Amino acid sequence: MNSSPLAQIPAVETGIGISAVERDVGLGKDTLRVWERRYGFPTPLRDSFGERVYPAEQVAKLRLVKRLMDQGQRPGKLLGQSVAALNEQLGTPATTGDADATADWVVPLLKQRELDRLRGELSQRLAREGLQRFVIETVPALNRRIGDGWMSGEIEIFEEHLYTELIQNLLRASIHGLSSRGTTPRVLLTTIKDEEHQLGLLMVEALLAANGAACVSLGAQTPVGDIAGAARATGAEIVALSFSGACPWRKARDSLIELRAALPPAVALWAGGAGLAGRARKLAGVLTIEGLGDIAVTLADWRAGRTG
């Protein structure tokens, strides 16, 4: 196919087709075309047959937009802005940590499909740092590194899924290894509106388990109605919900209110995740958790209030 070194160079230099953009960025063909019509971006070139050819810079901007949309923003507001402005919005919210550079090692292992070595390396760090530090520091750093890798185009969506599966397996095994007999309190864990927020849920579960709680996770996307029933069935003393950044606040709030009404007053309701960051501090009967680091403290507080 590419035995002739000259044949494909122009195509590579000018850009990629609409299918490739769909695959690499994760925006549907229909969406890409309708954005072009409505918002005037992207503005792909055309090849000799009139088909769209997206230059690399436009693909990069599309990736930025997609990422901000995954955090709940809307395309109409984003597509008009400059790349610099978009980058700023993306840079501010996070810790902009320096620890991210330390996570560079995942990328080559993932790219070259050295999954066994990757798994080994992760296990080793987990053993060295302990579950709590691993979940609070290392995993978020890795997640950020993977996200950045996707942004720059060096990591494909499929590889991101692979990474997520790996981490999840590791955490599950680790949680499973902790003795859950006689531990207290019993915590029921779940999310309402999916996202691939499953990993976040698992991280919370790991922290709770590491601090001696007995967790029951329902997985993601549990209908609000079922949660109360499950809480009764498992005799949970705390119900904890996680909301991703993509979850619109109104829906989060409504779900929490509905669930609070359905739960017995004696059962505590905890809520956390990027979708609530800062906002709903004062919902009656709902305790908002600001970050992963707060989990251990909140649990200790609960115990103090319970026993005292």
What are the residues binding a second copy (CB under 8 A)?
1-3, 115-116, 158, 161-162, 165, 169, 172-173, 176, 223-225
Partner from DNA, a second copy, none binding residue 105, C-beta < 5-8 Å depending on class: none
Of 291, 227, 290, nearest to 261 by C-alpha is 227
C-alpha count within 13 angstroms, C-beta hemisphere, residue 227: 31
Which of residues 251, 279, 281, 306 is near DNA by CB under 7 A?
Answer: 251
User: Is residue 25 classed as helix, strand or coil in its secondary structure?
Assistant: helix
User: Is residue 179 classed as helix, strand or coil in its secondary structure?
Assistant: coil
In the bound state with a second copy, the residue whose beta carbon lies nearer, of 79 and 155, is 155
> What one-character DSSP code corresponds to residue 135?
I
Contact call for residue 278 and DNA (CB under 7 A): no
- Rounded-to-integer distance, Cα 221 and Cα 255, Å: 12
Contact call for residue 37 and DNA (CB under 7 A): yes
Contact call for residue 181 and DNA (CB under 7 A): no
Q: What is the CA radius of gyration of the chain?
A: 22
Which of residues 82, 91, 250, 307 is near DNA by CB under 7 A?
Answer: 250
Quick one: which segment of 34-42, 169-177, 196-204, 266-274 binds DNA (CB under 7 A)? 34-42
First to last CA, the chain: 75
Quick one: which segment of 31-39, 108-116, 153-161, 194-202 binds DNA (CB under 7 A)? 31-39
Which of residues 2, 4, 13, 49 is near DNA by CB under 7 A?
Answer: 49
| 165's tokens | 């599966």
| 251's tokens | 């829906």
Partner from DNA, a second copy, none binding residue 77, C-beta < 5-8 Å depending on class: DNA
Contact 192, 262 (CB under 8 A): no
Contact 263, 231 (CB under 8 A): yes
Least separation in angstroms between CB 65 and DNA: 9
Residue ranges that bind DNA, judged by CB under 7 A: 17-19, 28-31, 33-35, 37-39, 49-52, 69, 72, 74-77, 248, 250-251
